Amino acid sequence: MEGKYIPKHVEDKWQQFWETRKSFESVEDTSRRKYYLLEMFPYPSGRIHMGHVRNYSIGDVIARFKRMKGYNVLHPMGWDAFGMPAENAAIQNKSHPARWTYENIDYMRGQLKKMGLSYAWDRELATCSVDYYQWEQLIFLQMYKKGLAYKRNSFVNWCPKCETVLANEQVEEGRCWRCDSEVVQKELDQWFFRITDYADELLECTYNLPGWPERVLTMQRNWIGKSYGCEIDFPVEGHLAGIKVFTTRQDTLYGATFMSLAPEHPMALTLTLPENRPAVEAFIEKVKKTEKTARTAEDFEKEGVFTGSYCINPVTNRRMPVYLANFVLTDYGTGAVMAVPTHDQRDFEFARKYGLPLQVVIQPEAESLDPTSMAAAYTAEGIMVNSGQFDGLKSGDAKEKIADYLEKEGIGKKTVNFRLRDWGISRQRYWGNPIPIIYCDLCGVVPVPEKDLPVVLPMDVTFTGEGGNPLATVEDFVNVTCPQCGELARRETDTMDTFVESSWYFLRYCCPDFIAGPIDKERAEYWMSVDQYIGGIEHAVLHLLYARFFTKVLRDLGYCAIDEPFTNLLTQGMVIKDGAKMSKSKGNVVDPNALIEKYGADTARLFSLFAAPPEKDLDWSDQGVDGSYRFLNRVWKLVHDTLPLLANAGSIDVSSLGEEGKGLRRTVHKTIRKVTEDVEERFHFNTAIAAIMEMVNAIQAFEPKNDPRHAAVLKEALESLVLLLAPFVPHIASELWEGLGHAEGVETADWPSYDPAVAASEELLIVVQVNGKLRSKITMAVSAGEPEMKEAALSDERVQPFIEGKTVRKVICVPGKLVNIVVG
RNA sequence: GCCGAAGUGGUGGAAUUGGUAGACACGCAAGAUUCAGGUUCUUGUGCGGGCAACCGUGUGCUGGUUCGAGUCCAGUCUUCGGCACCA
């Protein structure tokens, strides 16, 4: 151990030590308690950023802590390696996405190793490797067989800049989640995963995930968007087929006076009379041209057009004109809305604009609604009126009764509707997993036989950036013979959404070398579920929903026996500097390399853990980093300077200890308790570190250090200090642990335990209040009972002025804490 | 509009069960060390008053419950995040 703390020397040494020892590799061992800790794997964008540093520092504390606690810890790392930036870089550099990706991986792996993160590098995987994606193709084929993967023509979200399709989850306020371009609707033949089949289970299970943050669960529930209602048939005059609507307000059915269809509704044109045709077509054209962002703007004007047709309200027999309306969405419910202008604000505005009739069917108790003078729709509950046999009921009760009635009469049925749409996974890109499908003119859609897997992504491709998907230009890839009839056929050139890879990688980590299938069931059963998952909140409804879906699919395919992939989820906050998220465009990025170069990885880790609790945003402060570095220097100096005093330290002889010795021991044991609880139960690393800092202050202030009676106490203090620091700042802790005479690495040491008797104080500080205001503090023995406390409080001289000449009405006593004297 | 989270010193943040508000840091100020700068060390640091002991006051705002409220309740304002013509 050198006299001066030089982070680089220490960190290089121990990183090499861990590397040669393979310290963090783990094998399945059913005799040991397992702990699967996972941080969201990174996209190999080039270099790690502060968000990674924070995410992985948090994870590493838990991994190292659990190991010291005796768990068999699985802590893997890999690369979410398919994706568009690689393709863009290839175009720019006239290179290849694979080369760019693997170079980035090599560089970033080096960076992670320089952080001293305790990963099982033997399990590293990259999703762009055929060893990985071939199994995903197999899963796809099995999903296809079960009807969970299917192709259909549909309007899809299309990003003109990325020239590819986006899933609903990847559109944010009408813009591409990646490049921020305006998303347009395009009609395309696309592959989908039937996530809607699992909508109910995905929703139900959110109520059984106590280890997830409530806000993530809420977001997922909102996204799934389950609502209960009825599907009701409205016959159309002069047509055999009626219009189906979905409504959650069947209690307002008697007030439905017209019908609104989405402009894209399949019956829109068939219901249009010849004389209405020009206006209708013009309207449809206009809506199509309107950008989605404009269409969802707050003050967007409700507009529509009459088709000329009428449908019949099945309970009132009223003739209802059928309109097309710009606010009706084609992909929610049935794309048709029964319009009740008195009790729905949009219908109200629409009716006023086009002079359509209003009929009140729910009367509030406080006021009397008049259709001619109403200024807005009444949407709350009330008493049913003008609703035949349901008059007089509360509207809430009528909901159920009308639903029953509709079912009995065969007019409609109770149904549930979800906001969640199927997951469109086709991407018109090269750098992704090829969808294993062949198109044959004779046989149609033919899945690639399992024995012909993998469909290898061809490497010999040139990237110009023009003309759409480069994969479609590779003749050798596209032209195949049909596996069924042997005739010439074409290969699917769409690749899978890269979110597919991240939907099951946590299962592959359990058995990355398994060659008989995607998942070795036995090994997966030992490790799964992930005990603790850590990542950014931005994945609340993207990755985290897809991963849950995939786990359930894989369960139903027989690959694993679990329902949910992640038992506990920690969503760490963003790294903020100067009031904004770190980004190149804002020019406020701090480069981890420079930080590690200047201060070392331990300082980078310590600061990112100390500055804020994990789930909060972290405000970056260069001065704060200095502070963390200073602290490590103080620790180093403290251990180094104290070392000579420990030479003759034996075991602690309690009877010979002075007050100072006892006091230091108390601090040490209290700190062990505090740090253990903060790390284990709350992940409050900031307060854990604060407690360690206090302990360092106490050891530093400890006098007399030279008293030989105290050598053993000092030794206990320093060893505890180093052990407590080990999960946070592993390099310096390893060096100090060695300096204290331990040959085995600190990462294999046992987490220190505390003795409650030693941690307990003999004396306590009792707070004395008068009428709830702090007036004095007195020190009393722990054994002091209520009478003694009251006695001491009432006779305390600082309390006297406040009770003199007043009547003591009550004295409240909380043993060991406070006395409150109530005077009046 | 709906759902969720959060408002505490100059700053990041503590206060775990209703019981000392501001732990631990950063910053700042004074002093020591130094030729000097940096480092390091000591002391102080919510605000107002006072030489001081101390007193008053203080957790977005207004009320309430309680012996006692940053914490619980009601209302309200602000900020951030998510969803949104969802029928």
Q: How far is the CA of A505 from the C1' of B32 (A)?
A: 59
Q: How far apart are CA A666 and CA A661, in angstroms?
A: 9
Over residues A262-275, mean pLDDT = 93
Q: How far is CA A368 from CA A138, A356, A357, A376, A397, in A?
A: 64, 21, 18, 13, 20
User: Which SS3 state, helix, strand or coil, does residue A334 take?
Assistant: coil
- CB-CB contact of A565 with A202 (8 Å): no
- Residues, chain A: 824
Widest CA span in chain A: 109
Q: Which DSSP letter does residue A646 get? A: G
Q: How far is the CA of A801 from the C1' of B54 (A)?
A: 12
pLDDT band at A291; cut points 50, 70, 90:
low
Question: Which residues of A in 632-671 have their CB below 7 Å from strand B's atoms?
Answer: 633-634
- CB-CB contact of A299 with A386 (8 Å): no
pLDDT in tens, A582-602: 877 777 888 999 999 999 999
Mapping DSSP onto H, E and C, the string for A657-726 reads CCHHHHHHHHHHHHHHHHHHHHHHHHCCHHHHHHHHHHHHHHHHHCCCCCCHHHHHHHHHHHHHHHHHHC
- CB-CB contact of A743 with A671 (8 Å): no
Taking the alpha carbons of A461, A467, A468, A474 in that order, is the dihedral positive or negative?
negative
Phi, psi of A73 (to 5 degrees): -100, 130
Nearest-nucleotide field for A696 (CA, C1'): B24
Whether A298 has a pLDDT exceeding 60, the answer reads no
Write out which nucleotides of chain B lie closer than 7 A to a protein Cβ. 3-5, 11-16, 19-21, 23-27, 39-42, 54-57, 67-69, 81-87
Q: How far apart are CA A422 and CA A445, in angstroms?
A: 20
Q: How far apart are CA A249 and CA A381, in angstroms?
A: 11
Q: How far is CA A690 from CA A63, A115, A629, in A?
A: 20, 22, 14
Write down the pTM of the prediction. 0.92
Confidence at residue A743, expressed as pLDDT on a 0 to 100 scale:
92
User: Which SS3 state, helix, strand or coil, does residue A542 take?
Assistant: coil
Question: Which residues of A in 722-761 have their CB below 7 Å from strand B's atoms?
Answer: none
User: Which SS3 state, helix, strand or coil, does residue A136 take?
Assistant: helix
Confidence at residue A185, expressed as pLDDT on a 0 to 100 scale:
79
pLDDT band at A352; cut points 50, 70, 90:
very high
Confidence at residue A297, expressed as pLDDT on a 0 to 100 scale:
54
ipTM of this predicted structure: 0.94
Question: Which residues of A in 531-560 have their CB below 7 Å from strand B's atoms?
Answer: 537, 540-541
User: A264 CB contacts (<8 Å, ≥6 apart)?
Assistant: A155, A284, A330, A335
Closest CA to A500 of A210, A132, A816, A762: A132
Q: Give yes or no for CB of A574 within 7 Å of strand B.
A: no
pLDDT in tens, A403-452: 999 999 999 999 999 989 999 999 988 999 999 999 999 999 999 999 99
Q: Give yes or no for CB of A581 within 7 Å of strand B.
A: no
Q: Give yes or no for CB of A684 within 7 Å of strand B.
A: yes
> Tokens in use for A749?
């040491």
Q: How far apart are CA A733 and CA A351, in angstroms?
A: 74
Q: How far apart are CA A728 and CA A607, in angstroms?
A: 10
pLDDT in tens, A78-103: 999 999 889 888 888 888 999 999 99
- CB-CB contact of A553 with A518 (8 Å): no
pLDDT in tens, A507-522: 999 999 999 999 999 9
The residue whose two tokens read 């007030």 is A255
Q: Which residue is nearest to nucleotide B39 (CA to C1')?
A: A630
Question: Which residues of A in 387-426 have their CB below 7 Å from strand B's atoms?
Answer: 419
pLDDT in tens, A209-244: 888 988 888 889 988 988 889 999 999 999 999 999
Q: How far apart are CA A824 and CA A821, in angstroms?
A: 10
Mean of pLDDT over chain A: 91
Nearest-nucleotide field for A223 (CA, C1'): B83
pLDDT in tens, A624-638: 999 999 999 999 999
Whether A295 has a pLDDT exceeding 80, the answer reads no
Q: How far apart are CA A338 and CA A234, in angstroms?
A: 9
Confidence at residue A509, expressed as pLDDT on a 0 to 100 scale:
98
Q: How far apart are CA A10 and CA A250, in angstroms?
A: 72
- CB-CB contact of A736 with A639 (8 Å): yes
- CB-CB contact of A101 with A44 (8 Å): yes
Q: How far is the CA of A513 from the C1' of B86 (A)?
A: 46
Q: Give yes or no for CB of A134 within 7 Å of strand B.
A: no
Confidence at residue A433, expressed as pLDDT on a 0 to 100 scale:
98
- CB-CB contact of A720 with A54 (8 Å): no
Closest CA to A628 of A541, A692, A558, A546: A692
Whether A326 has a pLDDT exceeding 70, the answer reads yes
Q: Give yes or no for CB of A225 within 7 Å of strand B.
A: yes
Label residues A114-139 b or e (16+ Cβ within 10 Å = b): bbbbbbbbebbbbbbeeebbbbbbbb
Cβ neighbour number for residue A576 with a 10 Å cutoff: 17
pLDDT band at A286; cut points 50, 70, 90:
confident
Q: How far apart are CA A229 and CA A334, in angstroms?
A: 12
Q: Which residue is nearest to nucleotide B11 (CA to C1')?
A: A621
Over residues A155-164, mean pLDDT = 82
Label residues A598-620 b or e (16+ Cβ within 10 Å = b): ebbbbbbbbbbbbbbbbeeebeb
Q: Give yes or no for CB of A765 within 7 Å of strand B.
A: yes
pLDDT in tens, A56-71: 999 999 999 999 999 9
Nearest-nucleotide field for A292 (CA, C1'): B85
Q: How far is the CA of A571 from the C1' of B80 (A)?
A: 16
